[in-house]
Amino acid sequence: DVKVTQSSRYLVKRTGEKVFLECVQDMDHENMFWYRQDPGLGLRLIYFSYDVKMKEKGDIPEGYSVSREKKERFSLILESASTNQTSMYLCASSFSPRDTNYGYTFGSGTRLTVV
Amino acid sequence: AQSVTQPDIHITVSEGASLELRCNYSYGATPYLFWYVQSPGQGLQLLLKYFSGDTLVQGIKGFEAEFKRSQSSFNLRKPSVHWSDAAEYFCAVGMEYGNKLVFGAGTILRVKS
């Protein structure tokens, strides 16, 4: 089975800190995604990447950056954490849509609290 | 642009009763359609998907969904709900020449005994 692993289940950080959320997948997926999930707002796409060193902004990229130096790893960076970035962060990966196994596989999520 | 509507924010059903969760999408061509389930504090798990072919698809945990092109719908069904089915359910739509899925806002299912 495909596995997507997020490095932390729970994180508590202080306002202004630089925060790194790590995601690793083990099935050679081309695409990787970062979402945040907030009650009543559903899943909102922050950034995604369709290849190593490639990235594209999603719907809410402000305050975030990403890094994909290796195919299996996609990092989300909060440059200066703020309280409004307190949220559940979900990483996902997938093959391209032209693959018969297309579909996202999600990690278990990281619940980040910024105090 | 693609969009997905899940009209019901919350649904409550009795254990053993049948279930139907609604999903409508907006997309010009034949979409790729998915249903995911999320238990509290967890990531999303794929229940089933439709790409082409038979419009009735079977998934895990006894769920099925039917693609109706004329209604732009992909409703999720289960004949008999178990208490462990209580969770949040997300419908999603993708397309052949794009890398992103668009998710609905989710439907929270409560199961009463």
Higher pLDDT: A54 or B63? It is: B63
**Sheet with A4-6, edge to edge strand ranges:** A4-6, A19-25, A73-78, A64-70
How many Å is the maximal CA-CA distance in chain B? 45
> Nearest by CB to B103, which of A43, A50, A108?
A43
Determine if residue A63 is left, alpha or beta; phi over 0 gives left, psi from -120 to 50 gives alpha, anything else beta. Answer: left
Nearest to A45 by CA among B27, B102, B41, B104: B102
**pLDDT per position as a tens digit, B15-55:** 999 999 999 998 777 789 999 999 988 889 999 999 888 99
B41 interface with A at CB cutoff 8 Å: yes
> Nearest by CB to B44, which of A40, A41, A106?
A106
Mean of pLDDT values over A89-114: 89
Task: Check CB contact under 8 Å for A104 and B45.
Answer: no
- pLDDT value of position B95: 75
Residue-wise DSSP of B21-84: E--EEE-SSPPEEEEEEE-TTS-EEEEEEE-SS-SEEE-GGG-EEEEEGGGTEEEEEESS--GG
Q: Which residue has the tokens 């979900």?
A: A90
Q: Examine the pLDDT at B1 and tell me if it is beyond 80.
A: no
Please compute, for residue B29, the number of CA atoms within 13 A of its CA located in the half-sphere on the CB side: 8
Integer Cα distance of B69 and B78 in angstroms: 21
Task: Check CB contact under 8 Å for A102 and B36.
Answer: no
Task: Check CB contact under 8 Å for A97 and B32.
Answer: yes
Confidence of residue B100 (pLDDT cuts 50, 70, 90): confident
Question: Of all residues in chain B, what percent carry a pLDDT higher than 90?
Answer: 75
Task: Check CB contact under 8 Å for A42 and B104.
Answer: yes
